[in-house]
Amino acid sequence: MTIHKEGFKVIPFILFALIIFNVTVFLYLGTSVVFYGILLLSVIFISFNFWFFRDPQTEKSAGDKEILAVSDGKVVVIEPVFEPEYFGEERIQVSVFMSVTNVHINHIPLKGKIVYQQYHPGKFLPAYAAKSSGENERCTTVVRREDGTEILIRQIAGILARRIVTYRHTGDEVDVQDQLGFIRFGSRVDLFFPKNAQIKVSMDQITKGGKTVIAEI
């Protein structure tokens, strides 16, 4: 199993803290039932972190009209909404909720150029809630295709997420082979499409980042 680079920023510190904690418990309690219970829980916790930061090394490709899923997860919103931050007009919103069990890598969904990006501090409401799109900590990125079509991607932190990481920035030329970023521990991604987009997913559908076709334009 390949570990994503974000994991190497977190796992060593967790592993070190668990070793110190378990050694301390052993020194005070010896080989007691309590010590073995704590040791078992520590092994489970560090194993979960290795699994959470897994990188499945997805092979990605898309047709000229296709917009791919940014992340693994479940479709929780498909509706026309007014998008106030960048477009200032009605767009089709498709939102994918990532539970703590999903791969949390965020992928670039189309080939183009990043023409806008803005980070917003905010709350940490449950990411599946509709108001999290405008109130939670988030980062908005807009990618423009060669034909001028623009897609807005919004990475949103959830109730457990405390860090949104974005690797690509304004002015970068991007493709579907690139990673947009990573969100730690539960989150959501909103996509905003032109009204003429043909949405290819349905409510509650499970998506795979960099694989599932969300829409065609």
Catalytic entry in 71, 95, 132, 187 = 187
What is the DSSP code string of the chain? -PBPTTGGGTHHHHHHHHHHHHHHHHHHH-S-HHHHHHHHHHHHHHHHHHHHTB---------TTEEE-SSSEEEEEEEEEEETTTT-EEEEEEEEEEPTTS--EEE--SSEEEEEEEEE--B---TTSTTHHHHBSEEEEEEE-TTS-EEEEEEEE-SS---EEE---TT-EE-TTSEEEEE-SSEEEEEEE-TT-EE---TT-EE-TTTSEEEE-
* 187 in catalytic set: yes
Measured CA to CA, the distance from residue 12 to residue 6 in angstroms comes to 11
Q: Show which residues are catalytic.
A: 187
